[in-house]
Amino acid sequence: MKIKVGSIMTVSLIALALMGLVGCSSSDSAAAPVAPAAAAPAQASSSSSYVPAAPAQPAAPAAAAAAPSAEVEATKKVSAKPKQTVAKTVTEFEGGTRGGVMKINTQKWFQRWDMTTRSHWSSTQGLNRHYSGVLQFSPRDGLTVTPDLAKSWTLADDLTGSTFVFNEGVKWHDGEDFSVDDVIYTINRWQNPPVGVAQPRVAGLLLVDSMLKVGDNTLQIAHTKPTSRILPAMADSWHIILPQHILEPAGGVLSTGEQVIGTGPFKVESFSEGNNVVSVANPYYFHNAPDGSPFPYLDGITGIAFANNDLSAAALVTGQIDYYTSLTPSKSFPIKEKRPSIVITRWDSPGFQGISMNTTKAPFDDLELRKAFACGLNTHAIAELSSTPGVVPMEFRQISFFGTADPNYENVASLKCVDPAQREANEAEAKAVFKAKGITEVEFDTDTLDDPIGTIVQQQMKALGVDVKIVISEVTSAREKAYAGDTTLFFFGQAVASKSPVEIINQIYRPGAGFELYQATPPAKWSELLDQLDMATLGSEEEKALTAQMDTIMWEEWMPKVPIRRPDEFQVKQDYVRNIDAIATAKFIQSRFVDAWMDK
């Protein structure tokens, strides 16, 4: 077929003209990022306070080679100059080996260099080691609030404000001085992000009403309401402090690996986008080990992302990675057979899995049916069966709705719906309800191929006289379907609360922090208790009593009414394959590998 040049040119010109016309009549789609507004300062009176212990004296070389303490100590000596003592050679000691480079699996690539814009934990695992927070949770227990950039803090008597005193002489990885202005800039950015920059984990930082810099190294914060929860908010592993001098010129947008400049124990040396980040020990790092030896112990960490689990498992078998989190038992045990030096650690995590019932449409708009489903399912069995046969069964502990605070199992264990002794009665009752209501089939939406939970639910429901049809969709479509209210049963997947329950509260319950997903309005009494919890001392008996009351309300008043219910949350345990310190492994996920070392 012959085509005339003239006609082609005419078509092209018309098309170009059309494009030009449309271009002239429309606005720019990508608005320029906006710098966050400066916050108004406020005063905070003081009383309840934390003052660090005196820093340990540097130990003699022989003593320095002893195993690191199990607790991250308070403020350590700060040096303005790069340390010369950071391990550059491998040193063996009683507990393992210091120095060297550890290669870790950071799951999938974290997609964005700005870890504050993601809620997926691959971001913290990929990037957290480069940063510090105002405070941090102890990498050992995940609960105790310990110093980080701030060396001490004070809470006002009436909890309306707090004061943080920062370490002096802290430097960014590029050698610039850290200042309190960076903290103010970062918190402002969290609260007022540039256009298009999501901050899904802002959570507890919304408790900051205003900030005032006092002198060179003190920050006073006024709270939006009386609360002590500002401390866990500041220690939240997502709430890293970012460099103002890097971000401000870029309009607040962190979009390249070169901009990953922190004050953390490791600094980015090189990266291959989509595959790996090579980090080396930060010679400016301001924390020392309790024995005075410099942190971090390792010379470097190389984080490698894998597009799929088969490949990362193969990398573990062949020794190309040293540390792997979240490997399922079915994959980890065969690997150990091939590579006996691997140590598998099981970790008791306050994580939970959830199946939502759509209560805005039939059949689960019927309260009786919701109860039948919630109590008819044997969640204990689900927890055990979702583990692989041959592996020691997981210790099961039912946790409360939303997993407010996992130690509250005892408070709900005796509830009829949960109590294992009532199981047979619960199942018989549920079966009778399904039969009476004529429910013979329901759909179960999931985004996971061969979803074991779906299969188990299918088997259990079959025994209750109901056929479960499993519908598998691609992840985003499945979620969109659930958000649109088009699902009947939907497997929300697993949320591993690898950090403290206190953090979970901050993430889930704060305005804009996410719990609205479940379209659940708490009873007024529960909200009152949350306010009281804000003012309770962390870890106190008062706190425990309040959370227990909240759990009771959740189970007895709130849960039966919420539109989308997650009736079968249960505790699971994560399985780890690693060859580093067993005690710390569980918490390294969210921590900065500051005191990680290699096994001999």
Partner 1 sequence: MHQYILRRLLLLPPTLFFLGTILFFMVQAIPGDVASTLLAGEENAVDPKTMQKFREELGLTDPMIVQYGRWLAQTATGDLGYSYYFSKPVWDQIKPKIETTLTLAIFGIIIAVVLSLPAGVFSALYRGSLFDQIVRTISAAGMAVPAFWLGIIILLILSRKIGWMPPVIHSSIFDNPVDAFYRYLFPSLILGFRSAAVISRMVRSMMLEVLSEDYVRTAWAKGLQPRAVIVGHALRNALLPVVTMFGMLVATLIDGAVVLETVFNLPGIGLLMVDSVIARDASMVLGLVLSIGIFMMIWILLIDLSYKVLDPRVEYD
Interaction with partner 1 in 321-340: which residues (CB under 8 A)?
A: 321, 334, 338
Restricted to residues 505-544, the positions that interact with partner 1 (CB under 8 A) are 507, 511-512, 514-518
Backbone CA torsion sign across 183, 72, 144, 116: positive
Restricted to residues 276-305, the positions that interact with partner 1 (CB under 8 A) are 276, 302, 304-305
Can residue 413 be called a binding residue for partner 1 (CB under 8 A)?
no
Can residue 274 be called a binding residue for partner 1 (CB under 8 A)?
yes
Q: Residue from 127, 187, 254, 399 that binds partner 1 (CB under 8 A)?
A: 254
Which residues contact residue 5 at a Cβ distance below 8 angstroms, ignoring those fewer than 6 apart? Answer: none
Q: Residue from 208, 417, 495, 533 that binds partner 1 (CB under 8 A)?
A: 495
Nearer to partner 1, 201 or 239 (CB): 201
Q: Check: CB of residue 533 under 8 Å from CB of residue 389.
A: no
Write the binding mask 114 to 153 for partner 1: x where contact by CB under 8 A, - elsewhere.
x--xxxxx--------------------------------
Nearest distance from residue 311's CB to partner 1, in Å? 5
Residue span binding partner 1 (CB under 8 A) among the ranges 152-160, 272-280, 284-292, 345-353: 272-280
> What single letter denotes the amino acid at residue 479?
R
Nearer to partner 1, 509 or 555 (CB): 509
Size of the site for partner 1 (CB under 8 A): 82
Give the Å distances, CA to CA, from 121 to 137, 193, 237, 399, 589. 16, 20, 10, 22, 8
Can residue 198 be called a binding residue for partner 1 (CB under 8 A)?
yes
Write the binding mask 444 to 463 for partner 1: x where contact by CB under 8 A, - elsewhere.
--------------------
Q: Residue from 180, 183, 253, 461 that binds partner 1 (CB under 8 A)?
A: 253
Restricted to residues 14-43, the positions that interact with partner 1 (CB under 8 A) are 15-16, 18-20, 22-31
Restricted to residues 158-177, the positions that interact with partner 1 (CB under 8 A) are none
Q: Residue from 258, 483, 537, 539 that binds partner 1 (CB under 8 A)?
A: 483
Nearest distance from residue 376's CB to partner 1, in Å? 27
Token pair for residue 162? 């707090």
Nearer to partner 1, 93 or 515 (CB): 515
The rounded distance, in Å, linking the Cα atoms of 369 and 153 is 51
CA proximity to 156, closest of 206, 227, 233: 227
Nearer to partner 1, 49 or 256 (CB): 256
Altogether, the residues listed in the chain come to a count of 600
Can residue 185 be called a binding residue for partner 1 (CB under 8 A)?
no
Can residue 317 be called a binding residue for partner 1 (CB under 8 A)?
yes
Q: Check: CB of residue 402 under 8 Å from CB of residue 478.
A: no
Q: Are strands 276-281 and 266-272 parallel, antiparallel or unpaired?
A: antiparallel
Q: Check: CB of residue 170 under 8 Å from CB of residue 233.
A: no
Residue span binding partner 1 (CB under 8 A) among the ranges 84-92, 207-215, 419-427, 474-482: 474-482
Owner of token pair 């690997």: 335
In sequence order, what DSSP letters do the residues of 30-91 get, joined into one string?
Answer: SPPP-PPPPPPP------EEE-PPPPPPPPPHHHHTSPPPSS--S-----SSPPS-S--S-E
The rounded distance, in Å, linking the Cα atoms of 201 and 218 is 25
Residue span binding partner 1 (CB under 8 A) among the ranges 64-72, 427-435, 480-488, 576-584: 480-488
The rounded distance, in Å, linking the Cα atoms of 592 and 29 is 38
Q: Residue from 43, 91, 97, 111 that binds partner 1 (CB under 8 A)?
A: 111
H or E stretch at 190: helix 180-191
Backbone dihedral angles phi then psi of residue 597, each to the nearest 5 degrees: -145, 170
Interior/surface letters 108-140, b for 16+ CB within 10 angstroms, e for the rest:
bbbebbbbbbbeebbbbbbbbbbbbbbbbbbbb
Backbone dihedral angles phi then psi of residue 490, each to the nearest 5 degrees: -140, 130
Residue span binding partner 1 (CB under 8 A) among the ranges 7-15, 64-72, 228-236, 574-582: 7-15
Residue span binding partner 1 (CB under 8 A) among the ranges 129-137, 425-433, 450-458, 476-484: 476-484
